[in-house]
């Protein structure tokens, strides 16, 4: 039986190519149906590819770091039970295995075993209980042991073997984080499923509070220059930013805000039993303020095309997230329907998924408006570039104690700067100003959210 090839599938809408990040198998390894064989980096996310075959890996057709177009074979697998035959031997093996003439005839195949098999190239990557399904392959249900009329066995799915225990189970972004922080993963106890090491495990072990601060200053590299190929997510980010910056006429509006009551509100939420175990931060109030302001200024929540302006009456709220692989903007679908508690949970899950490198392409599509929190980097403010297609992106700077005039007296207050960039083709200055003022008013007085 000849080997089967596994072509790179389209794991997202319109994917044309992807980079091989890691191989989880090697030639000679036995792979089971749905077993993760490699990780690929698309223009938007890191994706694990499950095997649609059961058998022995005979060849890997792409190197780590190689960019492969969709449809190009990346692995060959020999089905379980297949043997190499000497062409000169003809049908000798089959004849040798034939039963004696006196042996009872083999029972006729059942209707189930006689049904035609799906082509190997269209084999599903999931069983009836679910699992990863590759776009373009589909779910083929449980794989049954079948035989052709000539007795040749088809691909079968025996019990999935238990993988050998690995001393370190961690995804590439977690390994990079550990390297950046100088953490030996072999010394880290993983708290994820099956002992997988998560980001918080690495940070906790390294006594490091932030991904963006190094424990020590690295030495200057010995090489004078470093050339980094423009590909994957960085290539996509570069293309999107150029398109947005030069096609959409950006206008920026910002204002200083007394966020003292927001900080007090956050403190009360943290102490509330309703928010026990949920991360609460000023970003939550900022997001809720945006949703409230959108209701009052619906023009802000729009998409511009060359033929029309699409005004959305739902909010897919994008949140810019800095990850080890670059900036991504996953969004919370139907955010306008969420309570404050539900919104807090959604933001927390989105953040965890992004920093662990598990954000999928679907989670970054169909956004309607974006927020970015540059305050986490200690920045007072910046001028963000619009997410392509959207007409507004809001930014919040750091919140810190500053002198502020209250009732004619200078007092210390918790002050921040909020504002953003807007597409002037869609929204005029008065709408932009009202929207920013509405967001600022909620940060000054969160009780407005009860309206």
Q: Which residues contact 17 (CB under 8 A, 6 or more apart)?
A: 67, 68, 69, 70
SS3 assignment for the chain: CCCEEEECCCCCCCCCEEEEEEECCCCCCEECCCCEEEEEECCCCEEEEECCCCEEEEEECCCCCCEEECCCEEEEEEECCCCCCCHHHCCHHHHHCCCCCCCCCCCCCCHHHHCCCCCHHHCCCCECCECCCCCCCCCCCCCCCCECCCCCECCCCCCCCCCCCCCCCCCHHHHHHHHHHCCCHHHCCCCCHHHCCCHHHHHHHCCCCCCCCCCCCCCCCCCCCCCCCCCHHHHHHHHHHHHHHHHCCEEEEEEEEECHHHHHHHHHHHHCHHHCCCCCCHHHHHHHHHHHHHHHCHHHCEEECCCCEEECCCCCEEECEEECCEEECCEECCHHHCCHHHHHHHHHHHHHHHHCCCCCHHHHCCCCEEEEEHHHHCCCCCCCCCCCCECEEEEECCCEEEEEEECCEEEEEEEEEEEEEEECCCCCHHHHHHHHHHHHHHHHCHHHHHC
Distance (Å, whole) CA 70 – CA 6: 11
Region(s) of the chain under CATH 2.40.50.100: 4-122
pLDDT tens digits for range 213-262:
444 567 888 888 888 888 877 788 888 889 898 889 999 999 999 999 99
Say if residues 266 and 287 touch (Cβ distance below 8 Å). no
Distance (Å, whole) CA 143 – CA 293: 53
pLDDT tens digits for range 4-36:
999 998 876 567 888 888 899 999 999 998 888
- Give the pair of three-digit tokens for residue 412: 């210390």
- Say which CATH superfamily domain 165-222 falls into: E3-binding domain (4.10.320.10)
User: Right CATH number for 232-450 from 1.25.40.10, 2.120.10.30, 3.30.559.10, 3.40.50.10320?
Assistant: 3.30.559.10
Region(s) of the chain under CATH 4.10.320.10: 165-222
Task: State in Å, rounded, how far the first CA of the chain is from the last one.
Answer: 70
Say if residues 233 and 239 touch (Cβ distance below 8 Å). no
Look up the CATH number of domain 4-122.
2.40.50.100
Say if residues 125 and 51 touch (Cβ distance below 8 Å). yes
Residue recorded with tokens 């073997």: 161
Distance (Å, whole) CA 254 – CA 29: 58
- Which active-site residues does the annotation give? 424
Full-model pTM: 0.59
Distance (Å, whole) CA 198 – CA 192: 6
- Provide the pairing of β-strand 409-423 with 309-311: unpaired
pLDDT tens, the chain, 451 aa long:
588 999 998 876 567 888 888 899 999 999 998 888 998 887 667 788 888 889 999 999 999 888 899 899 999 999 876 655 544 444 444 444 444 444 444 444 443 444 444 434 333 333 443 333 343 333 334 333 333 444 444 333 344 343 444 657 887 778 877 776 777 887 787 887 777 888 777 776 664 334 444 445 678 888 888 888 888 777 888 888 898 988 899 999 999 999 999 999 999 999 999 998 888 999 999 999 999 999 999 999 999 998 999 999 999 999 998 887 778 899 999 999 999 999 999 999 998 888 887 888 889 899 999 999 999 888 999 999 999 989 999 999 999 999 999 999 999 999 999 999 999 999 999 999 999 999 999 999 999 987 6
Region(s) of the chain under CATH 3.30.559.10: 232-450
């Amino acid at each position: 039986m000849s080997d089967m090839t596994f072509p790179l599938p389209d794991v997202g809408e319109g994917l044309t190519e992807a980079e091989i990040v890691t191989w989880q198998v090697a030639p000679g390894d036995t792979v089971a149906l749905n077993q993760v064989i490699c990780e690929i980096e698309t223009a938007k996310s890191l994706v694990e590819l499950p095997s649609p075959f059961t058998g022995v890996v005979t060849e890997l057709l792409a190197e780590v770091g190689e960019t492969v177009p969709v449809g190009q074979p990346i692995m060959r697998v020999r089905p379980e039970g297949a043997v190499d035959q000497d062409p000169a031997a003809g049908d000798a093996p089959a004849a040798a295995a034939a039963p004696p003439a006196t042996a009872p005839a083999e029972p006729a195949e059942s209707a189930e075993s006689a049904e035609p098999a799906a082509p190997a190239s269209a084999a599903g990557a999931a069983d009836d209980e679910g699992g990863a399904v590759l776009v373009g392959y589909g779910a083929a249900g449980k794989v049954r042991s079948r035989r052709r009329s000539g007795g040749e066995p088809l691909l079968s799915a025996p019990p999935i073997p238990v993988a050998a225990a690995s001393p370190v189970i961690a995804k590439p972004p977690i390994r990079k984080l550990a390297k950046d922080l100088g953490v030996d993963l072999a010394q880290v106890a993983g708290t994820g499923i099956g002992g997988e090491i998560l980001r918080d495990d690495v940070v906790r072990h390294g006594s490091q509070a932030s991904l963006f601060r190094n424990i020590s200053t690295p030495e200057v590299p010995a090489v004078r220059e470093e050339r980094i190929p423009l590909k994957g997510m960085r290539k996509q980010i570069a293309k999107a930013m150029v398109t947005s910056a030069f096609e959409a006429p950006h206008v920026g509006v910002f204002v200083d805000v007394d966020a003292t009551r927001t900080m007090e509100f956050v403190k009360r939420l943290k102490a509330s039993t309703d928010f026990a175990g949920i991360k609460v931060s000023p970003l939550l109030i900022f997001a809720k303020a945006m949703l409230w302001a959108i209701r009052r200024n619906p023009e802000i929540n729009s998409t511009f095309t060359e033929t029309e302006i699409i005004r959305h009456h739902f909010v897919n709220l994008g949140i810019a997230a800095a990850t080890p692989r670059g900036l991504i903007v996953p969004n919370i679908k139907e955010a306008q329907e969420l309570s404050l508690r539900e919104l807090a949970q959604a933001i927390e899950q989105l953040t965890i998924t992004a920093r662990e490198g598990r954000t999928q392409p679907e989670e970054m599509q169909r956004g309607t408006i974006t927020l970015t929190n540059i305050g986490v980097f200690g920045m007072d403010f910046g001028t963000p570039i619009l997410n392509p297609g959207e007409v507004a992106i809001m930014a919040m700077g750091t919140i810190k104690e500053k002198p502020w005039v209250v009732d004619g007296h200078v007092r210390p207050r918790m002050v921040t700067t909020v504002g953003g960039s807007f597409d002037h083709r869609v929204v005029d200055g008065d709408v932009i100003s009202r929207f920013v003022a509405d967001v600022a008013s909620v940060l000054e007085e969160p009780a407005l959210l009860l309206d």
